Amino acid sequence: MINLLGSPGSGKTTLLESIIKNINNREKLAVIEGDLYTDKDAKRIEKLGVKTVQLNTNGACHLEAGAIVEAVNNLDINKEKLIIVDNIGNLVCTAEFDLGEDTRIAVMSITEGNDKPLKYPLMFQTTDVIVLNKIDILPYTNFDLDQFYKDAKCLNPKVKIFEVSATRGDGINKICNLIGG
pLDDT digits (tens, 9 = 90+) for 140-166: 999 999 999 999 999 999 999 999 999
> What H or E segment, with its residue span, contains residue 150?
helix 145-155
Question: Could you give the C-alpha distances from 43 to 47, 70, 96, 158, 177, in angstroms and in order?
Answer: 6, 20, 27, 35, 25
Confidence at residue 109, expressed as pLDDT on a 0 to 100 scale: 98
In the chain, the amino acid numbered 46 is E
Radius of gyration of the chain (CA): 15
Across 26-40, 77-91, 154-168, the highest mean pLDDT is recorded for 154-168
The 10 Å Cβ neighbour count of residue 90 is 19
Confidence at residue 79, expressed as pLDDT on a 0 to 100 scale: 62
Chain centroid to CA 177: how far? 15
Give the pLDDT band (50/70/90) at residue 80.
Answer: low
Percent of the chain whose pLDDT exceeds 70: 97
pLDDT digits (tens, 9 = 90+) for 50-76: 999 999 998 888 999 999 998 988 876
Q: Are strands 129-133 and 51-56 parallel, antiparallel or unpaired?
A: unpaired
Question: Could you give the C-alpha distances from 174 to 18, 26, 30, 77, 167, in angstroms and in order?
Answer: 12, 16, 20, 25, 15
Confidence at residue 95, expressed as pLDDT on a 0 to 100 scale: 94
Sketch out the chain's domains with CATH numbers.
2-172 (3.40.50.300)
Contact 53, 32 (CB under 8 A): yes
pLDDT digits (tens, 9 = 90+) for 4-30: 999 999 999 999 999 999 998 778 899
Confidence at residue 75, expressed as pLDDT on a 0 to 100 scale: 79
pLDDT digits (tens, 9 = 90+) for 100-116: 999 999 999 999 999 99
- Cα torsion 46, 25, 80, 159 to 10°: value is -90
Confidence at residue 78, expressed as pLDDT on a 0 to 100 scale: 65
Contact 105, 2 (CB under 8 A): yes
